[in-house]
């Protein structure tokens, strides 16, 4: 069973940043706690330790 962990996500609609449970390989409906949008994206930049908003 893949492990579930808390990961950083970012809402593409309202730019809110928050943590949600994430299980690799498992599709989940994710909702922004601030605006209710489903355009919620895993914040890979934060994961890598780079400051948010930094361009590659």
Partner 1 sequence: MMDVGRHPNIKLLTNSKVEAIKGYVGNFDVKVLKKTRYVDETQCTACGDCAEVCPVVVPDAYQQGLSSRKAIYIPFPQAVPSASLIDMESCLGTNPIACGKCADKCDKKCIDYDAKDETIEFKVGTVIVATGMDVFDPVILEEYGYTKHENVVTSMEFERLLSAGGPSDGHFIRPTDRQRPKTVGFVQCVGSRCEKIGKPYCSNICCMNTIKDTLLLKDHYPDIQAKVFYIDIRAFGKGFEDLFKRSKEAGVQYIRGIPGEITEDPKSRNLKVMVEDTTSNKIEEHEFDMMVLSVGVTPRLDMPEVQQLLTLSKTPDGFFMEAHPKLKPVDAPSTGIYFAGCAEAPKDVKDSVTQASAAAARAETLLSAGKVKLEAITSTLDTALCRYCATCSRVCPYGAFTVDPKKKTISYIDALCKGCGTCAAECRFGALTMKHFTDEQIVTQIDAHLAEDPGEKVIVFACNWCSYAGADTCGGARLQYPPNQRLIRTMCSGRVDEKFVLHAFRKGAPMVVVSGCHYVDCHYIDANRWTQKRVEKLWDKFEKWGIRPERLLLEWISAAEGQRFQKTMQDIEELRKKVTKEEIEQTVKILTEEEEKDKAKAKKKQADSPTKKKS
Q: Give the residues lining the site for partner 1 (CB under 8 A).
A: 12-15, 27-29, 35-39, 41, 56
Residue with Cβ nearer partner 1 (8 or 37)? 37
CB of 40 to partner 1, least distance (A): 8
Those residues with Cβ within 8 angstroms of residue 39's Cβ, 6 or more apart along the chain or in another chain: 11, 12, 13, 32
Closest CA to 45 of 37, 54, 36: 54
Residue with Cβ nearer partner 1 (24 or 56)? 56
CB of 31 to partner 1, least distance (A): 8
Phi, psi of 55 (to 5 degrees): -85, 150
């Amino acid at each position: 069973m893949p492990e579930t962990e808390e990961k950083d996500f970012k809402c593409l609609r309202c730019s809110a940043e928050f943590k949600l449970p994430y299980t690799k390989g498992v599709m989940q409906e994710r909702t922004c706690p601030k605006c209710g949008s489903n355009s919620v994206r895993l914040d890979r930049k934060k994961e890598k330790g780079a400051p948010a908003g930094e361009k590659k």
